[in-house]
Amino acid sequence: MISLLAKLWIKNNQDVKDPGVRQAYGVLCGGVGVFFNICLFIGKFLAGFFSGSIAVTADAFNNLSDAGSSIITLVGFKMAGQKPDSDHPFGHGRIEYLSGFLVAVIILIMAFELLKSSVDKIIHPEPIDTGILVIVVLAVSILVKIYMFCYNKSVAKKIDSAAMDATAMDSLSDSVATTVVLIATLVSCFSGIQIDGYCGVIVALFVGMTGFQAAKETIDPLLGQPPEPAFVNRVREIVMSYQEQGVLGIHDLVVHNYGPGRVMLSVHVEVPADGDILHMHDMIDNIEHRLRRELNCNAVIHMDPVSVGDERTNELKEKVREIIDGMQENIRFHDFRIVDGPTHTNVIFDVEVPYSVKTEDKEIVSYLQKKIRELGEDGQEYYAVIDVDRDLCENV
End-of-domain residue from the set 223, 252, 286: 223
Residue range 337-351, pLDDT digits in tens: 888 877 788 898 988
- Start-to-end CA distance of the chain, whole Å, equals 41
What's the rounded Cα separation, in Å, for the pair 110 and 210? Answer: 11
CATH at residue 16:
1.20.1510.10
Of 92-101, 236-245, 320-329, which range is least confident?
92-101
How much is the mean pLDDT over the chain? Answer: 81
66-74 average pLDDT score: 72
What's the rounded Cα separation, in Å, for the pair 271 and 276? Answer: 10
Q: Which amino acid is at 45?
A: F
* DSSP of 228-246: PHHHHHHHHHHHHTTGGGT
Q: Which among 275, 242, 77, 231 is positioned nearest to 164, based on CA atoms?
A: 77
Q: What is the span of the domain harbouring residue 159?
A: 2-223
Contacts of 102 (CB under 8 A, 6+ apart): 69, 72, 76
Q: Are strands 249-257 and 263-272 parallel, antiparallel or unpaired?
A: antiparallel
Q: Give yes or no for residue 276 having a pLDDT over 50.
A: yes
Number of structural domains (the chain) is 3
Q: What is the dihedral of CA 104, 109, 111, 113, to 10 degrees?
A: -170
Percent of the chain scored above 90 by pLDDT? 13
pLDDT for the residue 395:
44
End-of-domain residue from the set 207, 223, 239: 223
Q: What pLDDT band is residue 155 in, cutting at 50, 70 and 90?
A: confident
Q: What DSSP character marks residue 374? A: T
319-327 average pLDDT score: 90
Instruction: Give a yes or no: residue 396 inside a domain.
Output: no
Same domain (yes/no): 139, 157:
yes
Residue 391 parent element (H or E):
strand 381-391
- Indicate whether this model's pTM tops 0.85: no
Same domain (yes/no): 264, 320:
no
